[in-house]
Structure 1
Amino acid sequence: MLPRRLAALALGALALATACTGSPSPGGALGPSSPSASASPDADESHPPIVVRDLTSAELQNRWWIWATSTESARNPVLDQDGRRCAQDQEEGIWLLAGTTGGAAERSCTVPTGVPVVFPLVNLMGDAHDCLGFMDAAKGGAVLDGKALTPEKLDATPIDMVTAAGNPFTGKRDHFHTWSCGLWVRLEPLSPGSHELSFHGESGSFSDSVDYHLQVAKPTPTGAA
């Protein structure tokens, strides 16, 4: 586990808090040219997809960080190397993707039809001052099915964190106020079928990259053979 002071990840969330912690954890954009498909009619009507373009910076980043810190290291999707943890603790109506805590990963992941996809190229959880330096050096890119995506820069934003014991960023169960920043991608629901997504991010001495082999398919009903 990286030191919490600089535990960066390049990928990648609700409250407006004003206090902060002093220990940053970096992690890894619906741009106007994002080449994503329209929503599928197969989306679960009881859990309509979240309109990701309407999420505030705090809502988006708080969602991702709570997801990334809601699982102990052994089952955490950020530490996953092959995609077997892709569906871990995903909430209804949105699908979050993770980077790494440094270095590269190649993952295969099944994404349900009709839900938007969100991920950071590179991001940080720390205090507002940490975010200033981090974002000055932050850069990265993403390509979906051969077409470049437009990342979105989200500067220091207060978030309200709830973490699980054994998570790879704080290591303990906790509730605290902090700040988050990063380069993000928001995608509308992808069309059914196979998609190739690659992204990378860096800031200072930290860098990571992930190649995702995505299969977008209607979820199998519970109890189905």
Structure 2
Amino acid sequence: MKRTSMTRGARALAVAATLTAALLAVPTAEAAVTVLAPGSSVAGKTIGQWSEAWWQWAFSLDAIDNPFTDGSQAAASNGQSGPVFFLAGTTGSTATRSFNVPGDKYLLVPLINLELSDLEDPTASAAHLRAMATDIIDMVDSLTGKVDGIDLAADLFLYREATPGTFSFVTAAGNAFGVIPGTANVAVGDGYYLMLAPIGLGTYTLTYGGGISTFPFATEVEATVTGVPEPAALGLLAVGLIGLAWVRLRPV
């Protein structure tokens, strides 16, 4: 009886190892990239409110592992937390990147965006900052948002998201935008964003950007993005499967 129990235990351990390897290595072929409708809410916040958090994240990053200037995995993961994973754009150039994202998190993708604040212009009122931001984004005349070469939406100009009010942020030394370190107490933002539903386990090529021909200004990123399990989820799975194997291993 003990030999039979040990054999079953070995099989259970083999199953655990196989399932864990499958979760790590095999993408979900039928998974699709879904764009949420403009103005949608995620975890109690509208996309416009998430754009505020995007700017707070972007300005908090210093020159080390900065996703706006470095396409590495460390850079992409720097400063990320919560249910939405932020993707970085550029400050006016093209970039090619490759990194993993948690497969169960939403992705906020900036096509083209801007913020204005009292840190950059201490004399400007919130109303003046808002008017300037609106005027500049009104000039956007090209947008790109594709997955594996296929358009993510028929009309990307429907996906404009302004911050609903003013917000604040703190800039790190060496931030990608060249803004002096300090605190912005009155800031506004405007631009075009796509909020993608969690992509699960799979690899996709996201191409996103936008431009204003009258400046001229243009930004575009081609990112190979792979959805992977969260480390915490893998840990729970491993504990559960090993526990199952341990039950099987006990002699009877």
Match of 1:214 in 2: 225
> Residue 134 of structure 2: which of 116, 129, 132 is its match?
132
Match of 1:183 in 2: 192
Is 1:158 the equivalent of 2:165? Answer: yes
1:159 maps to a residue whose letter is T
* CA contact 1:94–1:115 (8 Å) conserved in 2: yes
Give the whole-Å Cα distance in 2 for the aligned partners of 1:85 and 1:68.
Answer: 11
* CA contact 2:67–2:88 (8 Å) conserved in 1: yes
SS in 2 for 1:89: coil
1:191 maps to a residue whose letter is G
CA deviation digits over 1:28-71, x for unaligned, max 9?
A: xxxxxxx5269xxxxxxxxxxx9539632541211100010111
Highest Rg: 1 or 2?
Answer: 2
Give the whole-Å Cα distance in 1 for the aligned partners of 2:46 and 2:134.
Answer: 19
Question: Which sections of structure 2, spanning at least 5 residues, go unmatched?
Answer: 1-31, 117-128, 236-252
CA 189–208 in structure 1, closer or farther in 2 if over 3 Å, else same? same
Identity of aligned residues (%): 23
With normalisation by structure 1, the TM-score equals 0.70
Question: Structure 1 residue runs of 4+, over 6 Å off?
Answer: none
Which residues in structure 2 correspond to 1:33-48 (within 5 Å)?
A: 36=33
RMSD: 2.7
Give the whole-Å Cα distance in 2 for the aligned partners of 1:216 and 1:165.
Answer: 29
With normalisation by structure 2, the TM-score equals 0.63
Give the whole-Å Cα distance in 2 for the aligned partners of 1:80 and 1:130.
Answer: 30
Give the whole-Å Cα distance in 2 for the aligned partners of 1:210 and 1:153.
Answer: 18
1:131 maps to a residue whose letter is A
SS in 2 for 1:75: coil
In terms of fraction of residues, the more strand-rich structure is 1
Give the whole-Å Cα distance in 2 for the aligned partners of 1:136 and 1:79.
Answer: 27
Cα shift at 1:175 = 3.8
CA 182–37 in structure 1, closer or farther in 2 if over 3 Å, else same? closer
Give the whole-Å Cα distance in 1 for the aligned partners of 2:41 and 2:201.
Answer: 19
Give the whole-Å Cα distance in 1 for the aligned partners of 2:199 and 2:98.
Answer: 15
> What is the total number of aligned residue pairs between the two structures?
179
